[in-house]
């Protein structure tokens, strides 16, 4: 299954750079959500 995903992975998440970009995006979204929630209180 993982080998099949790595062969035809359109997202690029099988590469280390793709995973780093994905994690950075998740962290950025988390920070934005926390700041929005903090100012909403």
Q: Phi and psi dihedrals of 11, rounded to 5? A: -85, -20
Alpha carbons 6 and 19: distance in angstroms, whole number: 13
Residue 2's Cβ-side half-sphere holds a number of Cα atoms within 13 Å equal to 2
> What is the mean pLDDT of the segment spanning 2-19?
66
The yes-or-no verdict on residue 19 having pLDDT over 70 is: yes
Q: Hey, what are 18's tokens?
A: 């793709």
pLDDT, position 3 = 52
For the residues of the chain, what is the DSSP string, one character each?
-HHHHHHT-SS-TTSHHHHHHHHHHHHHHHHHHHHHHHHH-
The range of the structural domain enclosing residue 9 comes to 2-40
Structural domains in the chain (count) = 1
Q: Is the pTM of this model over 0.75?
A: no
């Amino acid at each position: 299954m993982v080998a099949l995903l790595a062969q035809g992975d359109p997202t690029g998440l099988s590469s280390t750079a793709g995973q780093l970009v994905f994690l950075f995006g998740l962290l950025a979204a988390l920070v934005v959500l926390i700041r929005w929630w903090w100012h909403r209180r």
